[in-house]
């Protein structure tokens, strides 16, 4: 199958060909026709499979045929969890829509809001946004949705992980009921399925890979190492393998800053990217990394799904993530679009449980390789056998103890718990002791003390 067989306009085909793409990926083959037909779609695919083009191409195709957006109006709204992902999606819209007259904008927090409000005045055929900034703009009447035709939730599972569920529900409340809904995600957790029930209508389900699977083109290796020697080991690996571009993940912002300073002190150019950095600093760091000016980019999980770097050769987990699924998204930054990638995890003995959880989620043991000269003092124990994944059981409904429920429980209130002192005892209460001594009938002598 080729892109020309998907009924896309010449303008779109020209833009796609200029990017060097000839054959649509599996998720694109299934999603594009469904979106073009105006159907709701739920798509699950691992990162790097072309999900973004899977919805941007057909959305642009459908919008070309309609009327342009009015002042402050939006025709297609794409919600993303992070600023980086919003910028990435907006770049895709700009690239694929470059030969059309569609107007596209992107809005996110961390930057001044007034310039964004100015751009929105002319209307947006496509608006890419993060939930928080979109709500701010809506409250200031800078954006309107009476012309909205399609809504996209991109990386929906990540949005739930980051606590955006309330913002999403608020946004849904002021959108028109009649619209096309597209939900794209790396995984379909029970929470995502629950959200989808009130979001999409009779959706076409697209799934091109098992949930939480890793790309086969990515080679995964675990290097056992003591915690205190991790930074030295990382520096050694960078120099020994002559890595010119490596993405390193840490668990915390402070850890990212600390590792960046250590690498810089050893003559390895490094920059950090995380939530405490301003949007300008994050954008600049990413641009320098892509341009090859910075050798190492140290990131927290906020960047795990928002970075799109062509041909990124390797990813390093300096620390394993607390959430096992984040491992999949971290290493998904390499081996994209069928390219080969390399993912290495520096694991100390304290992280054994995290490693076992990851191996359970991906359903495979990761190869271990001890680096000579960095043998750990505290050996990393062997992983246990991987048990098969089990589907989560639905929660049991709470019993209703109100009067008349099931006809057998008439007391709806729970009895208060008694402290040990107030609990009734099982034996009979003691009888009062009877004094069997003879009563003293003699009167007291008032002069006895003076005798």
pLDDT for res 438:
47
Tokens coding 214: 């890793």
Tokens of 202: 């009779």
pLDDT > 50? residue 153: yes
The predicted pLDDT at position 58 comes to: 96
What is the arithmetic mean of pLDDT over 411-440? 48
Looking at the predicted structure, is the pLDDT value of residue 90 above 70?
A: yes
Percent with pLDDT over 90 in the chain: 49
b (16+ CB within 10 A) / e for 84-116: bbbbbbbebbbebbeebebbbbbbbebeeeeeb
pLDDT at 304 over 60: no
Tell me the per-residue pLDDT of 168-184, one tens digit each, with 9 for 90 and over: 999 999 999 999 999 98
pLDDT of residue 220: 92
Which of 68-72, 86-90, 163-167 ranks highest by mean pLDDT? Answer: 68-72
pLDDT tens readout for residues 103-115: 999 999 988 999 9
Phi, psi dihedrals of residue 75, rounded to the nearest 5° = -100, -35
How high is the pLDDT of residue 324? 82
Q: If you average pLDDT over every residue of the chain, what do you get?
A: 82
- 251, 319 contact by CB (below 8 A): yes
Q: How far is Cα 368 from Cα 327, in angstroms, rounded to an integer?
A: 16
For the segment 245-266, the average pLDDT, to the nearest whole number, is 93
Q: What is the pLDDT of residues 119-149, one digit of tens each?
A: 999 999 999 999 999 999 999 999 999 999 9
Consecutive H or E run containing 75: strand 74-79
Q: What does the pLDDT read at residue 47?
A: 62
- Looking at residue 369, its pLDDT comes to 94
Q: Specify the pLDDT at position 212.
A: 55
- Strands 246-249 and 296-299, bridge-based pairing: parallel
Residue 431, pLDDT score: 53
Residue whose token pair is 């309330």: 166
pLDDT of 261 higher than 90: yes
Q: Determine which helix (DSSP H) or strand (DSSP E) holds 257, and give its type and residue range.
A: helix 253-265
Average pLDDT value for residue range 289-300: 90
User: What is the predicted pLDDT for the residue at 2?
Assistant: 83
Q: What local confidence, expressed as pLDDT, does residue 336 receive?
A: 63
Which of 49-53, 329-333, 369-373 reaches the highest mean pLDDT?
369-373
- Any alpha helices (H) in 19-50, and if so which ranges? 26-36
| pLDDT at residue 422 greater than cutoff 50 | no
Q: Each residue of 335-375: pLDDT tens digit?
A: 665 667 899 999 999 999 999 999 888 888 999 999 999 99
């Amino acid at each position: 199958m080729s892109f020309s067989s998907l009924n896309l306009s010449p303008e779109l085909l020209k833009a796609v060909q200029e990017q060097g793409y000839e054959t649509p990926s599996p998720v694109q083959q299934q999603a594009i026709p469904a979106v073009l037909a105006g159907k709701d779609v739920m798509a699950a695919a691992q990162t790097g499979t072309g999900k973004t083009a899977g919805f941007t191409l057909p959305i642009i195709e459908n919008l070309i045929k309609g009327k342009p957006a009015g002042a402050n109006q939006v025709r297609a709204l794409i919600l993303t969890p992070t600023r980086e992902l919003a910028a990435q999606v907006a770049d895709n819209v700009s690239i694929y829509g470059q030969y059309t007259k569609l107007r596209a904008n992107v809005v996110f927090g961390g930057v001044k809001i007034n310039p964004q409000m100015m751009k929105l005045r002319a209307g947006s055929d496509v608006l890419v946004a993060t939930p928080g900034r979109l709500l701010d703009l809506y409250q200031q009447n800078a954006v309107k949705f009476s012309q909205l035709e399609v809504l996209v939730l991109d990386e929906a599972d990540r949005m739930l992980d980051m606590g955006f569920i309330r913002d999403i529900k608020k946004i849904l409340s002021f959108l028109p009921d009649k619209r096309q809904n597209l939900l794209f995600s790396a995984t379909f957790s029970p929470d995502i399925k629950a959200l989808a029930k009130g979001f999409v209508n009779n959706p076409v389900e697209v799934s091109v890979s098992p949930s939480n699977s890793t790309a086969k083109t990515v080679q995964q290796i675990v290097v056992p190492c003591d915690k205190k020697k991790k930074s030295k080991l990382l520096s050694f690996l960078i120099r020994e393998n002559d890595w010119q571009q490596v993405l390193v993940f840490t668990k915390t912002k402070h850890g990212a800053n600390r590792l960046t300073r250590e690498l810089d002190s050893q003559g390895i150019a490094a920059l950090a990217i995380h939530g405490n950095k301003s949007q300008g600093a994050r954008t600049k760091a990413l641009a320098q990394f892509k341009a090859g000016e910075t050798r190492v980019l140290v990131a927290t999980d906020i960047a795990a799904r928002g970075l799109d770097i062509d041909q990124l050769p390797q990813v390093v987990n300096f620390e394993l993530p607390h959430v096992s699924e984040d491992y999949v998204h971290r290493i998904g930054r390499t081996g994209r679009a069928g390219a080969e990638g390399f993912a290495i995890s520096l694991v100390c003995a304290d992280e054994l449980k995290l490693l076992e959880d990851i191996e359970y989620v991906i359903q495979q043991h990761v190869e271990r390789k001890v680096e000579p000269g960095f043998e750990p003092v505290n050996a990393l124990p062997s992983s246990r056998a991987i048990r098969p994944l089990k589907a989560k059981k639905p929660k049991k409904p709470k019993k209703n103890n109100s009067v008349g429920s099931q006809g057998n429980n008439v007391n709806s209130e729970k009895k208060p718990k008694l402290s040990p002192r107030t609990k009734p005892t099982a034996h009979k209460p003691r009888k009062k002791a009877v004094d069997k001594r003879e009563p003293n009938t003699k009167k007291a002598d008032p002069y006895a003390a003076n005798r």
